[in-house]
Structure 1
């Protein structure tokens, strides 16, 4: 029994040992499994962490901000730009969010959210503006989706989404729209080319310039749409391409004939566009249509160089063309004939026909002259009835005689003016290049002297300059040299002739008159040297001297208490044309601290003959300085009422040639008409050259304002003028 129990016990112990071993083995296996599972879990956790990090990084790179809305628990989780998580009450956050949405976008946001929460859209998506911390509006784009709904009611329980900041993108889009709008609406052609100079984009104005539609141009080479079959055109195009490739830029004016048939003057500006490696990737060009500009330049050139009345080149163009021609012919044996032509007795004819009829005569005369002088190098209208014709001639004298005879014959045929026949004759003076000289001014002077001789002989004739006339030229040249010396040696002096009020004979001011105190010839009057000065640039220098001396004397008189004294000075046409008169006046005013009201500028009718825009502008500028402008010797020249309306004239002077004939009924009628007209236009009337009481009384009865003449005083030196001022001041 005992043995049996022992055996049984051994068996049980064996089983127990086996069981223990199995448990031990199982425990070891379990521990290994747990270790393996732990490693797997750690790997999974690490992988999830890495994925989460990558997701956050991806969101950050993409500018995405995740959000999680637990609708059931009314909680919303937000992640800001610093990757910080915020848990907020969704109701409070929703109320705050709605207050930050732009009013114009709020309804759109609420509608899109409502539709999605009701299950009517697959996802919520809205683009809207929100106010940021700096109180500025920024564009954002939200995308979200409900991920959990109540199984029974289908009410939304949980929603997730992301927000993207698209403000910069939206601004870029707006800028692109603006750029596209500019491209479409630009008043210049704009082109974009690829690196091979093929069109990839153009704007509508370029279509207008070329006459082609966009689809006809895109893909073509830059010059494939222009005529390119002539060698010169191909060469020009190749030069442009070469310059662009070498310098990265081209800027120039070209005239292109496009295959559409349009021929256009264009300004071509093109630049290369480089990438970061400085490789050319595109070319951008701006093409300006110069057609209107060229037409405007032609119109301006015409106005500058041609006489509007006769449609002939004017004096400036004549001198410029003749100068250029003579410069090009320095070493040539070519001979020229310079003809100065004048209509005989034009002044009385013009007065008889009236200005309108006189203008029509000049128009018809010019047309006929142009036809009969088709072989001439140039035919010009210098002024009034003065014309110039230049011929290139071989056998000079016989040839020019034939030309002059042909001109005379053509102009002898009567002109039809208002159904009336008007006969005219002409006088001509001729000088030859190089026989009589090589300088333009000298040749013109010779022709003018010959013309003067022809007129002196009664007109209707042709005179060729001869050596007998050279004495006059030599004397003129000698006088010019002495005058230049006089200017530099301060030999020019000024005298002052008083102007007084008719009513009380008290002084109003003076007219300054220039004199030449020659060291050997004594006092030379202006009628001797002023014509010489006007033919040269000396008149401007003399004008500067007179204005400076006048302003200096005004300063002296003002210092003596004569604040309102006014002194008038004469201005020649050249002073107005040369453009430095304003500067001279301004310099004198500032230098001597005087006012423009102390000055008065006197012009003659002949000065206003070239009724130019530039002259009018200069006179208007002078008037703006409170300097009064006086029209001298009105009625003695080519009088025109247009002078009084076109120019800022303040004062009308009755010339002494009229005053001296007071007592003659016709002359008195003319004076009365001039005074009445001037007064009606609000002008001050000045009568000059008064020498007798009879003249004074007649003019006083016409209510003239100011008197000037030897009856009151001759022109005075500065000292004597000051004495007169003291004795006759109001």
Structure 2
């Protein structure tokens, strides 16, 4: 038999207000954002859409019986409600046809929203027996999420506090599952918030369908959900439950002819082992969820909280704070590594690499701070810094009457998804008097996971500036022949994992095949990670023209690279 809570949970906000025996509407700011059909009828309209967006004062004559402007007096009534949370008064309304009627208005204020009911005095007696139901429905409306019909954060927190108190007395346990939809922002940014809302509605429905009967499921925030589960569950049972929830979420979504797939991450914290108060328990479940996103537990992103996670999160927090100040403190250092024409044994181009020397953490590896910069948005500032430093170097080198070689700069997915990126590049190179042919941009195969429409447009405009495009780390990710052609890539850089295994027949064949294919397509091939003479000879034998690696030179700071180009201190950087 379905419980009372389950029956209520099946009712959405829009459905709830239709049960009201009175005309009812919700005000946000000074506009009506939600109403029921009875409100439409009492004011003489035909459709809800005619009421939505109106001010409550526009449903009144110009002035009230005491001569006061309806707008002025109406705002006074609303302010009274805001001060006390509730206000009741009599008010003269006016229907669409112009007919006036006296009504009793009740205003309820909750979370910045104003809930209004309108009683036609002539019908008051008929409605008295239904008043209790109004309050019950409104109470439920306050504890429910408008969009999904699930419990809201406020109610969830109240129940969590009560459960902690009860569990403390009875020495019982329970688990808290914190669920976050992966990359939901991309759906909003790409398809719009209206589509995003429909996705959240469907995700909530699927979670409710897969959640255990006796759990408390709530929408905690935008794309976050939380579940409280009984103490009878073991870790294996909780993992199975999480698996079921994620499995239900991942089935294809079809909205407005768009088909796409969702994934989510789940962090699990248990009372009392992982926290004895609501704040600690939620924090630790959130930490576990973040680690689930980061580490990906097999096929499904589910992690239980562990004490070591808190230390890692704290270190990451400190690292992020220091990274925010790295540019200001001039801790980022530009390095350059030569790219060599193997056949002619001469310098061809170079790659710009950024290094971070921090006073607390020392030399921070790029694979540690670059993903953090991308996640926090700092990659845009860092990318701008690198581009300006490279342009400054090329400008300086040219002033000394040397012919500048092209410098390759790594460009992140986040930068390419910025619609203003090309304009920013154009302005920077123009400010330094640099030609596009002096630069190359390296992208990675991860671009295939981004907003391809924006990325492709940016790359097209970048090539229009004369800047060549190279696909970095080729062979380790998602790239395809079609993508290379569609993005009009000029060069591909074969990842070092292949050259490291040249004695293996399979890896040798991969390099030979890629080079052969690239030449057919008119692409230049650069092999990364070349460290030995054996590797150089292998590349020469298969007519691979370009290489990069410690065999010729390690990454070096700008001043040293300038000397390197002038033929000085070459032996300092050779590693034969």
TM bin, normalised by shorter chain, reads: 0.5 to 0.7
Residues 369 and 411 in structure 1, CA contact (< 8 A), matched pair in contact too: no
Match of 1:234 among 12, 34, 45: 45
Counterpart in 2 of 1:627? 467
Counterpart in 1 of 2:479? 639
For 2:451 and 2:468, the matched residues in 1 are separated by: 19
1:437 CA displacement: 8.2
1:690 CA displacement: 0.6
Change in Cα spacing, 1:334 to 1:634, as seen in structure 2 (3 Å) is: farther
3-state SS, counterpart of residue 714 of structure 1:
coil
Counterpart in 2 of 1:449? 291
1:643 CA displacement: 2.0
Counterpart in 1 of 2:572? none
3-state SS, counterpart of residue 602 of structure 1:
strand
Counterpart in 2 of 1:430? 267
Residues 630 and 651 in structure 1, CA contact (< 8 A), matched pair in contact too: yes
Residues 572 and 603 in structure 1, CA contact (< 8 A), matched pair in contact too: yes
For 1:478 and 1:677, the matched residues in 2 are separated by: 46
Change in Cα spacing, 1:410 to 1:516, as seen in structure 2 (3 Å) is: closer
Change in Cα spacing, 1:722 to 1:476, as seen in structure 2 (3 Å) is: same
For 1:491 and 1:655, the matched residues in 2 are separated by: 28
Q: Calculate the aligned-residue CA RMSD, in Å.
A: 4.5
3-state SS, counterpart of residue 327 of structure 2:
helix
Counterpart in 1 of 2:488? 648
Match of 2:243 among 408, 432, 456: 408
Q: Does 2:446 align with 1:612? A: no
Unaligned 5+ residue runs, structure 1? 1-227, 247-320, 343-366, 380-387, 416-425
Higher relative contact order (CA 8 A, sep 6+): 2
Q: Does 2:452 align with 1:596? A: no
Unaligned 5+ residue runs, structure 2? 1-38, 63-145, 161-175, 183-201, 212-216, 251-262, 270-276, 569-576
Where do 1:378-397 residues align within 5 Å? 390-395=224-229
1:575 CA displacement: 1.8
- Larger Cα-atom Rg: 1
Residues 427 and 459 in structure 1, CA contact (< 8 A), matched pair in contact too: no
Where do 1:135-154 residues align within 5 Å? none
Deviations 1:199-232 (A, max 9, x none): xxxxxxxxxxxxxxxxxxxxxxxxxxxxx98446
Q: Does 2:328 align with 1:493? A: no
1:528 CA displacement: 2.8
For 2:234 and 2:430, the matched residues in 1 are separated by: 56
Change in Cα spacing, 1:465 to 1:237, as seen in structure 2 (3 Å) is: closer
- Compare 527-536 and 685-694 and name the one that shifted more: 527-536
Counterpart in 2 of 1:5? none
For 2:471 and 2:151, the matched residues in 1 are separated by: 39
Change in Cα spacing, 1:331 to 1:554, as seen in structure 2 (3 Å) is: farther
Counterpart in 1 of 2:199? none
Q: Does 2:419 align with 1:582? A: no
1:329 CA displacement: 5.2
Counterpart in 2 of 1:557? 397
Counterpart in 2 of 1:684? 524
Deviations 1:677-712 (A, max 9, x none): 222221111111111112112222332232111111
3-state SS, counterpart of residue 566 of structure 2:
helix
Residues 605 and 633 in structure 1, CA contact (< 8 A), matched pair in contact too: yes
Residues 687 and 707 in structure 1, CA contact (< 8 A), matched pair in contact too: yes
Deviations 1:113-168 (A, max 9, x none): xxxxxxxxxxxxxxxxxxxxxxxxxxxxxxxxxxxxxxxxxxxxxxxxxxxxxxxx
For 2:323 and 2:231, the matched residues in 1 are separated by: 36
Work out the number of aligned pairs and report it: 378
Where do 1:250-649 residues align within 5 Å? 333=158, 337-339=177-179, 374=209, 390-395=224-229, 404-406=239-241, 408=243, 429-431=266-268, 435=279, 446-450=288-292, 455=297, 462-519=302-359, 521-649=361-489
3-state SS, counterpart of residue 669 of structure 1:
helix
